[in-house]
Amino acid sequence: MHVKSPRRVFKLRANNDKPFVPEPNTGHIYLADLDKHGKDVRIITQCVDVLHQKAGSKLVVELHGNSRRFYCMECDREYPYSEIPLGEQNIPRCPIDNGIIRADIILFGENLKPRVLERVKTLLAESDLLIIAGTSLSVSPTKTLIRHFESNKVVVINQTPLDITDLSIDLFISDPVGETLSKLDIH
């Protein structure tokens, strides 16, 4: 589930429901298997659903945050989902300072975290192969971040071609990501 609105979190928590956690698909599992075979895989994702971690990937940078992590906006204390305290009107509030507890995700109109952006730039600069999968890169600033990739091997797996001029693409595959990756040799 992509938790786009804090209100949905309030409501779920008030009803004592758990967010639905889908299962990783064959693409997530393939990438995690590469880790297990000793490949240096760095995943930069715009998803907030934690599926890469659930599949077993070790290095995942979440540009838009993580819908399973909750923190107080005043003091930054983290609360496990099942222990989020509810205040008046079932609004999740920190018992220490009454700050609102929210999911650690970037909401529409909010800027990405500078620390995360710097991490992504470093990872891109260090990598020797860039696979852009399942995204049209239409959301800023992701499109401009790819300029930090300094090597020259670029593969795109996406249903539609990308409108990018900063990189030359070596291989474009227009099939679904999971299906494509699951056909590749792991070694």
C-beta of 93: minimal distance to Zn ion in Å? 8
- With b for 16 or more beta-carbon neighbours within 10 A and e for fewer, the 93-122 pattern comes to bbeeeebebbbbbbeeeeebeeebbebbee
99 vs 134, beta carbon nearer Zn ion: 99
Is the peptide bond between 141 and the residue preceding it cis, with omega within 30 degrees of 0? yes
Please answer whether residues 120 and 79 qualify as being in contact, where contact means their C-beta atoms are separated by less than 8 angstroms.
no
> Of residues 37, 64, 148, 187, which has the active-site annotation?
64
Q: Is the four-CA dihedral 14, 20, 135, 154 of positive or negative sign? A: positive
71 vs 143, beta carbon nearer Zn ion: 71
C-beta of 74: minimal distance to Zn ion in Å? 4
96 vs 107, beta carbon nearer Zn ion: 96
Local structure of residue 1 (DSSP, 8 states): -
Site of interaction with Zn ion (CB under 5 A):
72, 74-75, 77, 94, 96-97, 99
84 vs 177, beta carbon nearer Zn ion: 84
C-beta of 105: minimal distance to Zn ion in Å? 18
C-beta of 73: minimal distance to Zn ion in Å? 8
β pairing state of 101-105 and 65-72? antiparallel
Please answer whether residues 149 and 169 qualify as being in contact, where contact means their C-beta atoms are separated by less than 8 angstroms.
no
52 in catalytic set: no
Q: Rounded to 10 degrees, what is the CA torsion of 177, 179, 183, 184?
A: 10
Instruction: Please give the backbone phi and psi of residue 39, each rounded to the nearest 5 degrees, phi first.
Output: -80, 145
Residues with catalytic function: 64
